[in-house]
Chain A
Amino acid sequence: MDVLVNLTVNGLATGMLIFLLAAGLTLIFGLMDVLNFAHGGLFAWGAFSGVWVYSATGSFMVGIIAAIGTGLILGLALERFIIQPVYGNHVQQILITLGVMLVLSEMIKVVFGPNQISARTPSYLSGSWEFGDIIIIKYRLFIIIIGTLVFGAIFYTLRNTKIGLIVRAGVINKEMVQALGINIKRVFMLVFMAGAAMAALGGMLLGPYSGVIYAEMGLEFGILAFIVVVIGGMGSITGSVLAAILVGLSGSFMAYFVPDLALAVNMLLMTIVLIFRPQGLFGVKG
């Protein structure tokens, strides 16, 4: 029983981290029809800048703000200079964002050094609560709460606000939204920046969770996020949160019960989903 609860908490925490990364990816894809292969790079940059500021100032919260700020700035620059010229051309988008990914992860090595950096949990989030045999690690619970809050915020924004209405309409018909006098380019930019900020936040939160951060983690988690987006169905936020949790849980349970299969479990999940439902669990587009 206690093992099951611990595994579930672990899986949920990992799932929420992946969700932060996948949410931006799927929003950007759904609205702008852009597959951003550089998304993992934003994740890694968030981790490095956030952890760097955190260890420099000693305040975890300032670190989080720095990470989000880095995400916003990088997102703005990326959208403006890299993505805008290649709207509508998928092959070019894939090629160019992959190049950006390459540059982003190498730049991390130039700015922060080539070695991995360790990150500690802040004192008020370290330690755990014990309920009988069940041990709940505070930081994992913290990640789950943040992830849930972010999901709630996105869900609320998309459902109940004007900007959400515009974004949802833009997903269905960009030209129509533009014709109604709304500057869809501005909306694209804001969504891209929000996606980048979420990725950066995810990276920052990963730091104390895994203990170390390294430049290659961008690609590693980027692939994981793609898998989640494919399983959940491209462009669906609900799909990505469920798929992220599914991937997180199956990863943590497999690692405990069938360790040999653990590394392949995501691939297997994705392959099965693609064979039976190529559009993903919650996807609408075929």
Chain B
Amino acid sequence: MTVPNTVYIIIFLMLLALPFVTDSRTLLIMFTQIFLFAIFAMSYDILLGYTGIVSFGHAMFFGIGAYSTGIILKQYDSTIPMLLMAVLVGAVIAGIVSYVVGMLSLRLKSHFYAMLTLAFSGLFLVLAEKWRTLTYGNDGFTFSIPDPLRDRLNLYLLSLILMVIIFLLLKRFTHSPLGRVLQAIRENEDRTESLGYNVLHYKVIASVVAGVFASFAGSLYVLTLRFVNTSVFAVDVTLDALLMTIIGGVGTLIGAIIGAGLIEFAHHWLSDLAKVHWIFERWIIFFGILYIVVVMFFPQGIVGTIRLWWSRRKGTQIRVRKEKNISS
């Protein structure tokens, strides 16, 4: 099933018009959150969905972007050029870190990599807690942002447009010959290796691309909060990306966006329900159970399942991603 481009354009125009038809600040903030988490989830999907790498340390890059932006805007002027520099610094650091971590651990089997990234992001969390002169530890710090972005509407539009640009960029990336190699690695690593591709090299590229875009999401995130603390490095942030990608549908960028929308929306909605019954305060349980069910029964996620259903209805065969055994 291919959705006609006009549908995407219509949705984009509707989202663009949204702030001009509603005054709801909460809605505006929620959608801004959805856009930036969609960027984060798309970057995670490059790893999980397109290359078949499970990382548990994606929060590390989100946090690097968040802290770089926060620290630079706090220490220097909060002007637009300074912001651009901050975002760039975050992206460069994220790129270097993802390169080093990738080179160190991507030659290992999938589960070692998952563990190592979990431990590495734990290291960053400790660093942010201990380096108090720079990060103010667990309490975090507030900072001011450039004037034009103080307006919620501008921030909303910026996030929306950035999301679309990054979507198009990543779509281009995944459809490039390089992206095809990544998908080949996902499908069968040994075969790709025996075809003469240097698998490690390509995996590291995927990890750097994912790290840099995750850092953008982190920068945007702290811009909406004007505050940063160690929670940006928490495992929960990685889990959010995982949930969004898996529920939306792995291996499809649009799935990551839908997943981000669903999770953020459900988060707000379930948190509101906490007034009705205390159990909803523990909404993570519902997500956890939903997530387990999705991994077990709908490994393709929403988008993948719909695609499968659609192709069955039309009676055409579609190549289904085979679940495979990564290591033997």
Q: Which residues of A contact B (CB under 8 A)?
A: 35, 37, 82, 85-86, 88-96, 98-100, 102-103, 106-107, 109-110, 219, 223, 226-227, 230, 260, 263-264, 266-267, 270-271, 274-275, 278
Contact = CB atoms under 8 A, between A and B. Distances in A.
Contact of B325 (A89, A110, A267): A89
A72 B295 CA distance: 25
A212 to B, nearest CB: 18
B296 A86 contact: yes
B110 A90 contact: yes
Interface stretch (B143-151, B218-226, B285-293): B285-293
B126 A226 contact: no
Contacts of B284: 102-103, 106
Contacts of A94: 54, 110-111, 114
Contacts of B56: 98
Interface string B43-72: 000000000101010000000000000000
A95 B247 CA distance: 12
B116 A274 contact: yes
A91 B292 contact: no
Given A95-B54, A100-B292, A106-B285, A275 B326 contact: no
A96 B246 CA distance: 11
B282 interface: yes
A91 B296 CA distance: 12
Interface centre among B126, B284, B295, B296 (most CB of A within 10 A): B295
B288 A99 contact: yes
B58 to A, nearest CB: 13
B130 interface: yes
16 contacts: A35-B115, A82-B292, A85-B296, A91-B326, A94-B54, A95-B246, A96-B295, A100-B292, A102-B291, A110-B279, A219-B235, A260-B130, A270-B119, A274-B105, A274-B108, A278-B108
Contacts of B325: 88-90
Interface string B284-324: 11011101100110010000000000000000000000011
B150 to A, nearest CB: 36
Contact of A90 (B115, B116, B327): B327
A106 B123 contact: no
B104 interface: yes
A95 B295 contact: yes
A98 B122 contact: no
Contacts of B285: 103, 106-107, 110
B54 A271 contact: no
B326 A90 contact: yes
A182 B289 CA distance: 34
A103 B122 CA distance: 20
Contacts of B282: 106, 109-110
B107 A278 contact: yes
B115 A267 contact: no
A41 B126 CA distance: 22
A267 B110 contact: no
Interface in B255-305: 279, 282, 284-285, 287-289, 291-292, 295-296, 299
A263 B52 CA distance: 31
Interface centre among A86, A93, A99, A107 (most CB of B within 10 A): A99
Given A107-B285, A226-B115, 10 more contacts: A95-B246, A98-B239, A103-B288, A103-B289, A219-B235, A223-B119, A267-B119, A267-B120, A267-B122, A278-B107
Contacts of B289: 99, 103
Interface in B119-135: 119-120, 122-123, 126, 130
B118 interface: yes
B299 A223 contact: no
Given A91-B110, A95-B54, A274-B116, A223 B288 contact: no
Interface centre among A102, A106, A109, A226 (most CB of B within 10 A): A102
A88 B288 CA distance: 22
Contacts of B126: 263-264
Contact of B111 (A88, A90, A219, A266): A90
